[in-house]
Chain A
């Protein structure tokens, strides 16, 4: 123990020397730091993406929600009476039928903002299940009362200038026809405030009687999130022998299935992170090799003065670590700024990416990785410098 202490104390004593060394060729250190920073900036952004996609904790509401859909695929509907049957499973507080509408609002080719999600829902049950949705009571009642009413998210309303009382016409494609509706409420939600919801009954009434009473998905609110696995299993078991079978999963897993739709995202992120880390290693190793080569004579002098080979290795390693941590810190700072801007753009492709941030964990991983990479990159040059005999190094012409 005392020996280890002495070691650390000795290293600390050399710290000013280490800093001096990094400043000796300022341009090179600066360029190296910039180069490493660019790579770490990228790593930071990719970590934030990965975190948002695969590791983010569900919101309290989300953790309690399940989604049931037709086993064959999301594009195929289920009979509406499934909802009543599902509600008999113990542990379920509420359930709501939700139907993806599709359709067009004005000209979507001309203005991409006109593309937004539209769902037909059962208004009363919708508010029961979507506990994160906040809306003034009078607006809520107005939506429940009026068959041709709709509500829009705050963000959507801001983007397209919707106000309460505005009339909106949606042109259906899956459900042909013109659907006129009136905005009766604007809701806020921590999860998603860019959707339009209108009454399912309005949609049913526009269909021939034979094609009514179907459900796209059924959202379920659990009394406790611990029941998720059991309830999902029981619901699917209930319809195992029916013509239309179901698949029930947590809302988080359901949303993630859309991400897998973008391709093998996980592998893509891993491959890029690998390439980037390797690049940092190359840059860092290259710099240290250049820096050591320049200093062979100096190392000889140091050893003549009594520095042990171990101290020489330690000093060179510390220099590399200092430079690469500086690069990592700068990169993370850039990443934190960049992530904010990207969340908006990337959110258009994947819903989860909207909440992308550089978490303290990701930051720590980046800095630790910086230290490790700097260390690894300098091992070979440092070892070489420490092992060169004093006479050879003093004679070295540079």
Chain B
């Protein structure tokens, strides 16, 4: 026969100080793990929503990033006319030749500056991006020294406010709009007219890469094969999605440190939980004896104490989740190894992540509770009853 769960709940309540302290220790461990997971998840979401499933990125063969790719106008003329490219509302092929540069802008909390990607592109390029809208101002006009900044850039960089001027290449550029790309990486970029920018950088002929939108998934695969195999082009084509997916590695250092920290903290809280449970067992020796006299088996004593430990850690896990919830949607930024500039994104505490935290806590509780529970189950009735 099993000992009712309410027995354990009541015990935890009676020793609330100890319960709370142990649970808090577990909660902090869970919170550290969860904040790192939320960071990685946020970054992943940013990269996942950045790509359109039908977009193809074309770079020079041998390049791994837009930044170190060279793409000439002649190459672009060739790919523009390939079959399978979707048409824009104006009937133009949805293909955009782009130039990427990195500039250093002072930020509120980093006066020494952070790297920001600037992108020169034709207006059709803005149509190719998914879920893009203007949150203030208007698009840049071709041929003018105007730029549109991403939402996060406008928030984090004082120089990049609407109506102000940025200084790079050969002079000043007026910020005429703020674009909102949902959660995507576009929020961390600055966009301007391709021709104006490329001539400023003396790169009118040699740009960075091209993005094209395929008509449908079948055409997309054919187009990728066609572009990569064309000996005249000497280019490599890949889905925009796979390009962005690979950039999630930027979170690797933080992820590594975070997981390392959580593991060591987990060892510590596991010992602490064990301590608490041993104390619980020795304080209740008489009770255990009585339970045995009443006919509860060793097995049910073991289960009962094991459950109590799980309950304790469940409380810790839930507290941990509560601790990280305020992090949700807070904007932060880390360096992106592929673009060599900063990407900003929001911490994302998803239900899956919270479930993982609770699971982690329960695992700790199980490890910490096993030995004390066994210790309780092994007590001889007579000695247990006689213990002070």
Task: Mark A residues whose CB is within 8 Å of B.
Answer: 27-28, 31-32, 34-39, 41-42, 46, 71-76, 102, 104, 171-174, 176, 243, 253, 257, 260-264, 268, 272, 275-276, 278-279, 282-283, 285-287, 289-290, 342, 345-346, 349-350, 398
Contacts and interface: CB of A to CB of B under 8 A. Distances in A.
Contacts of B18: 286, 289-290
Nearest to A31: B275
A275 B28 contact: yes
Interface in B1-53: 17-18, 21-22, 24-25, 28-29, 31-32
Given A38-B268, A75-B101, A243-B170, A262 B32 contact: no
Given A72-B103, A243-B170, A285-B21, A34 B271 contact: yes
A52 to B, nearest CB: 13
Interface stretch (B139-147, B327-335, B348-356): B327-335
Contacts of B388: 398
Contacts of B17: 289
**Which interface residue of B168, B254, B275 has the most chain A CB atoms within 10 A?**
B275
A279 B265 CA distance: 9
B102 interface: yes
Q: At the interface, is chain B mostly helix, strand, loop or mixed?
A: helix
B265 A38 contact: yes
Interface centre among B21, B28, B110, by most chain A C-beta atoms within 10 angstroms, is B21
B259 to A, nearest CB: 12
B62 interface: yes
Interface stretch (B66-74, B124-132, B178-186, B292-300): B66-74
B101 A286 contact: no
- The interface centre, meaning the residue of A27, A243, A283 with most chain B CB atoms within 10 A of its CB, is A283
Contacts of B257: 268, 346
B253 A28 contact: no
B254 A268 contact: yes
Given A173-B60, A275-B31, A346-B253, 18 more contacts: A35-B270, A38-B268, A39-B265, A41-B264, A42-B264, A72-B104, A72-B168, A73-B103, A74-B340, A260-B112, A264-B332, A275-B265, A282-B24, A283-B272, A286-B25, A286-B276, A346-B257, A349-B252
A176 B22 CA distance: 60
B196 interface: no
Contact of A28 (B261, B270, B275, B335): B275
Given A260-B114, A283-B25, A286-B18, A176 B70 contact: yes
Contacts of B32: 272, 275
Interface string B246-260: 000000111011001
Nearest to A247: B104
A282 B21 CA distance: 6
B161 interface: no
What 10 A-B pairs have minimum CB-CB distances, sorted nearest first?
A: A261-B335, A38-B268, A35-B271, A263-B334, A349-B253, A173-B68, A31-B275, A286-B21, A73-B104, A75-B102
Interface string B325-347: 00000001111000010100000
B29 A287 contact: no
B64 interface: yes
29 contacts: A32-B272, A32-B275, A35-B272, A39-B264, A39-B265, A39-B268, A42-B268, A46-B261, A102-B68, A173-B63, A173-B64, A243-B170, A253-B112, A260-B114, A260-B335, A261-B115, A262-B254, A262-B334, A268-B254, A272-B261, A275-B28, A276-B28, A279-B25, A279-B28, A279-B269, A283-B272, A283-B275, A290-B18, A290-B275
A378 to B, nearest CB: 14
Interface residues of B, number: 57
A281 to B, nearest CB: 9
A27 B104 CA distance: 57
B136 interface: no
A286 B60 contact: no
B279 interface: yes
Contacts of A174: 68, 70
Given A28-B278, A72-B104, A286-B21, A42 B265 contact: yes
A278 B25 CA distance: 8
A283 to B, nearest CB: 5
B317 to A, nearest CB: 15
A263 B335 contact: yes
A262 B253 contact: yes
Contacts of A345: 256
B334 A38 contact: no
Contacts of A264: 109, 332
B246 to A, nearest CB: 10
B231 to A, nearest CB: 16
Nearest to A32: B275
A295 to B, nearest CB: 12
A341 B312 CA distance: 35
B274 interface: yes
A287 B275 contact: yes
A35 B275 contact: yes
A276 B268 CA distance: 10
Contacts of B103: 72-73, 76
Contacts of B340: 74-75
Contacts of B62: 104, 171-173, 176
A35 B244 CA distance: 41
Nearest to A291: B279
Nearest to A283: B272
Nearest to A342: B260
A346 B104 CA distance: 26
B267 interface: yes
A72 B170 CA distance: 11
Contact of B278 (A31, A71, A72, A172): A31
Contacts of B271: 31-32, 34-35, 38, 283
A172 B103 CA distance: 23
Given A27-B278, A349-B253, A35 B21 contact: no
